[in-house]
Structure 1
C-alpha cells in the first residue's frame, strides 16, 4: 500500500476525493438514491428494536454514514443503524430507563459516545487485528440469536398485546404466551399481510424495495381496517444537537454493553467491508475503518444518533447499484435527509403491527442458514461455539453472548496451540543404518514452543527412549523464554543428545539469546537431518 502523507492519514478522503470523476458522481448519485429508499423502513424498524423514537433510526442512517464514508477505508461500506446493535442498545439501556423516555434516549447516546471512543482508540493503537479473535462462528451464533430475540420481542406487537418487556428473550416469550388470549385479530392480520407482501415482492422482484412496498401495503390496510396502534408522527427535521451525558456510575454499569457494542460494531463493519472488497478488488485498512467507525459514533452521538455500524443490506445494494466511491454513502444520507424533511409526517399512519411484520422479515434474513449448516457438518468445536453463543443470547442479556462466544473460541484456540503435534518419523525414511535405528529418533514439532505448550512438549520428548534425538524445527514459528528454558533443561539433563535441524531464524535467535547461549552455543544446528545423521554415524 503506497505511503500516505500526515494530512492524508488524518483526512483519508483527501486521497480519493480528487480522483472522483463526473462519471463516478453520476453512478454514485443513482446508488445513493436507491440506498436512501431502501433504508427508510429499516431505519424506523431498527429504532423500534432499540426502544428509541422512530426518527432516531433515520438520524442514525444520516450523520454516521457521512462520517464513516469520509474517514473509513472502504469505498462501498455504508454505515447506519443495524438490527444486532439495536438489540444490544435496548438490552443494555433498558436496565436503567424506560424505553423511549428522555433518560433512555440520553443513556443510548452516552452508550454511543463511549463505544465510539473505544473504537477510535483501538484504531489509533492499531488494534485492527483484534477483530480476528471474534470468530465467524461467534458472529453467526450471535446474529442468529439476535434474530430470535428480535422476533420474540416483536411478537407482542404482531399480536397487538399490551404487555411489559422482560429482561431476556425467554422471559419475553413466557410473557407473550401468557397473554395470547388478548390477541388483537386486526393487528395479527396486518402483521401477517406485511410479511406476505414482503416475501412475495422479494420473490417476484429480488432487487426491489420489498420492505418499503410492504410498509406501504401495511399502512393502506391499516387505514381500511381502522382502530389499530400506529407508529405516530415523526418530526420533519434534520438531526438536532444532543448532549450525551450521564453520571460516571451509570457509565460503569453499562461498561460491558459499551465494550460489546464497540466490538460487534467493528466486527460488522470490517466483515462487510472485506466481503464487498473481495468483489471490488479494493484493499481494506482495518485500522482506518476502526477510526472511521469510532468517529461516526462519537460525532453521531451529538446529533441524535445511536450506535451505528456497517449495514450489510445497504452496502450490498450500494455496490450492486454501481457505486464507485464513498460519495455514494454521502448522497444516500443527503437523499434520506430530504425524504425525512418532506415525508416524515406520513410515518404517523404506519401500523406498529406492520413494523413488527417487517422486523420478522429482517430477523429471518439475519440467520445465515447455509453457513450454520456447513459449520455443524464440518467442525465440532466451532459448532459448540456457535450453539453456545446462540443459547447465551436466549438466556442472558444479548451483549453477554458475545463474551461467551469469544471466551469459548479463545479456549479452543489455546487448547489447540498448547498441544502442538509431536510427530515421530520412521528413521528408515531418512535411510538411517540398521545398527543406529534403536538409538535414534527423528521428531517433527508442528507448532510453536511457548509457555502454553511446554508441558505437552516436555512430556512427549521425555517419553522418547532413544539416545539420539533429532528435532526437525521447520514447523516451529517461534520460541518464547519459557520454551527456550524447557529445551535448555532437556539438553542439560543429557538424557538425550539433541540435534536441531531446519530451524527458522526467529526461534534460532531465541535459543542463542544471552540467557541460553551457554547451553545452545555448544550445539551444532544442522541444515537438514542428513547432516545430523552423518554426525551420529561418526560417533
Structure 2
C-alpha cells in the first residue's frame, strides 16, 4: 500500500509527515485545556447514560484518541456527548437492571461503530443531509429539557427506587410528589456549582467553570462532613487505564440493541459532521464526510472493547480545542492521554465529588442545549412552515415518547414527508409574446388564459419527478384548447423522470387531437436521450424540438421562428395576418424580457 493510500485511510500518517516543531506547544496547550473540561463532562455525561462515571472517563480516553487518529477533522474531539448519552439511557432503560446490562451496553457501542463504518465504506456521506437541521434543533432542545429534568432528583437528593427503569416524566412526577424529602445540603451544593459556573463564564469564558464548580464544594464536604448529612458522593473510581474486555455477541442481544444502535449511529454522525464542517468553515480544512464516518465508527468499535459507551463529536470540547490554538489531530490525542493520566494518578480523589454538583453541571448543560436563537430563527420564518413543524414535533416527541430513537425516526420521516409535500408542485409559468418598445418581442406572464391565442409559451422549471407528475398533468390539461401553437420551454428543467415524461406525452397527444402544434425548446443534452427513449420525439417530430444552445435566447428564437412557419406568417396576406404573426414579423431577435400582468 502506497503512503498516499495509507494517509487517505489513516489520516494521521499525513499529519506525522507534515508535522512541524512549532505545532507542539499549540497542540499541547489546546489538549490540556480540553482535558480540564472533558474530565467533569465525561463523568457527568456518564450519569445521563445511567452508568458509573468511570465509563465516561474510559470513553473520554479511548474514543477520543481513536477518533482523532482516523477521523477527517484536525480539531474534532470525539467522546461522550449529552445527546448521545440521553439516547443510550433511553435504549438501555429496560436492561440496566439485568446482570448482563453492561455487556449489552458495550455490544451497542460495537453496533454503533459497525453501522458508521458501513455508512462510510458505501459512501453515504451526502445522505446525512436528509436529516433536517431543524430536526436536530428540535431533538437537542427536547434532550436539553430531559437532561435538566432528569437531574432534579439528584440535585435534591431524593432517592428513587428502580429509577433506571423509569422515564424522565415518571421521575419528575415522583420528585414533585416527594419534595418534602429534599436534602437542603445537597441542593445548596448543587446551586453552588451552578453559581460558580455562571460566575466563571461571566469573568472569562476560558475559565474551566465546570471543573472549579465541582472542586470547590469538595472543601465543604470534607470540613463539614456533609456525607454524613445525606449528601451523596460519586464514590470510588478505579485508578487504572481502560481494561480490555471482549464484547459478548449473541443474535438475541444484537436484535435488542439494533434499533437504538442505528438511531445513535445516525445522530452521532450528524453531530460529528456538523461540528467538523462548522470548524472547517473557519479553519478552511476540507472535510471528507465518508472518512469521518469511518473514523467515528473505528472510535466506537475500538471503544467497545475497552468498556466505552457510544461516542460522537463534542461541540463544546471541539470548539475549545480549536479556539485554544489546536493545529493538528495530535491535540485530540493528547487530550485523551491527559485524561488517562488524571485517571491513573488522581482517581482516588474523585470519590469526594458530590453527585448534586455533577447534577448542577448537567442542568446547566441541558439549559444550554436549548438553542433559543436558532429556535426563534425557525419560528420567524413561519410557524406553520415545514421546518417549524418538524422542529416542534421532534422536540415534543423527544420529551414524551418512551424511546428516543423513535423520536429521531419520527422527526426524520416527518421532515422528508413535508419536503415531498412542498416539492409536489411544479413551477409553471404561462407566457405570451407581445410587442415591446422598439419593435422588440417581449414576454408577458399571465395567470390564466381566458380566450384562445395563437402562441402560448409554457415554461417548466425545477425537478420533474413522480411526486409532482400529477400536478404537472393537471396544469397542462387546463391549457390544451387555449392556443394554436404551444412552445414548451424546458431550459430550466433540471431533471425529469418517466412518470413526468408520460404526463408530457399525454399533453402532446391531447394538443394534437385538438388540432394544435407543440414545439419544445431549450432541451438540454442530458434530457435529449430520455425524450428519444420515451418516444416523445416521434410524437412531436424532430423539427419541433430545439436543443439548448450556448447563445443566449437562441433556442427561444428558433422556437418562435418555427411557430411563425406553423402559423403561415410568410404566405398570409398582410391584411389577414394575425396579431401573433404581426408580432413575430416585427423583430427577428427575441429579447426575452419578462413583465408581469399581476
Conserved? CA contact 2:519–2:540, under 8 Å? no
Match of 2:475 in 1: 460
1:254 Cα shift?
2.6
Aligned partners of 1:172 and 1:411: how far apart in 2? 34
Match of 1:491 in 2: 508
The structure that is strand-richer by fraction is 2
Question: Structure 1 residue aligned with 2:141, among 141, 144, 154?
Answer: 144
Aligned partners of 1:367 and 1:340: how far apart in 2? 32
Match of 2:178 in 1: 179
**Residue pairs, 1:247-326, within 5 angstroms:** 247-326=250-329
1:517 Cα shift?
4.9
Conserved? CA contact 2:455–2:483, under 8 Å? yes
Aligned partners of 2:501 and 2:278: how far apart in 1? 41
Aligned partners of 1:174 and 1:295: how far apart in 2? 40
| 1:17-43 CA-partner distances (Å, limit 9, x unpaired) | 200011112211111111111101001
Aligned partners of 1:62 and 1:529: how far apart in 2? 65
Say if 2:561 is the partner of 1:534.
Answer: yes
**Residue pairs, 1:124-143, within 5 angstroms:** 124-143=121-140
1:514 Cα shift?
6.1
Conserved? CA contact 1:488–1:520, under 8 Å? no
RMSD: 2.0
1:515 Cα shift?
5.5
| 1:38-85 CA-partner distances (Å, limit 9, x unpaired) | 101001000111111111101111111111111111011010000000
Say if 2:530 is the partner of 1:510.
Answer: yes
Conserved? CA contact 1:47–1:86, under 8 Å? yes
Aligned partners of 2:3 and 2:380: how far apart in 1? 45
Aligned partners of 1:440 and 1:167: how far apart in 2? 70
Aligned partners of 1:460 and 1:168: how far apart in 2? 51
Aligned partners of 2:4 and 2:424: how far apart in 1? 43
Aligned partners of 2:540 and 2:178: how far apart in 1? 75
Aligned partners of 2:431 and 2:256: how far apart in 1? 56
Conserved? CA contact 2:106–2:308, under 8 Å? yes
**Residue pairs, 1:55-66, within 5 angstroms:** 55-66=54-65
Question: Structure 2 residue aligned with 1:384, among 378, 381, 389?
Answer: 389
1:87 Cα shift?
0.6
| 1:69-112 CA-partner distances (Å, limit 9, x unpaired) | 111110110100000000111110111232xx652221111111
Aligned partners of 2:181 and 2:398: how far apart in 1? 28
Paired residues, what number?
533
| 1:319-354 CA-partner distances (Å, limit 9, x unpaired) | 111110101111111111101101111111111111
1:432 Cα shift?
7.3
1:138 Cα shift?
0.6
Say if 2:245 is the partner of 1:242.
Answer: yes
Conserved? CA contact 2:27–2:325, under 8 Å? yes
Question: Structure 2 residue aligned with 1:331, among 334, 348, 354?
Answer: 334
Secondary structure of the corresponding residue to residue 487 of structure 2 = strand
Structure-2 change in CA distance of 1:91 and 1:432 (3 Å): closer
Secondary structure of the corresponding residue to residue 75 of structure 1 = coil
Secondary structure of the corresponding residue to residue 493 of structure 2 = coil
- The answer to which structure, 1 or 2, has the higher relative contact order (CA under 8 A, 6+ apart) is 1
1:530 Cα shift?
2.6
Match of 1:417 in 2: 423
Show structure 2 runs of 5+ residues with no match.
445-450, 549-554, 567-598
1:235 Cα shift?
0.3
Conserved? CA contact 1:159–1:353, under 8 Å? yes
Aligned partners of 2:37 and 2:270: how far apart in 1? 23
Aligned partners of 2:348 and 2:483: how far apart in 1? 85
| 1:425-474 CA-partner distances (Å, limit 9, x unpaired) | 343374479xx981322222222121111111010111113232222222
Structure-2 change in CA distance of 1:186 and 1:476 (3 Å): same
**Residue pairs, 1:190-209, within 5 angstroms:** 190-209=189-208
Aligned partners of 1:27 and 1:102: how far apart in 2? 46
Aligned partners of 2:106 and 2:536: how far apart in 1? 55
Deviates more, 1:312-321 or 1:61-70: 61-70
Match of 2:584 in 1: none
Structure-2 change in CA distance of 1:421 and 1:191 (3 Å): same
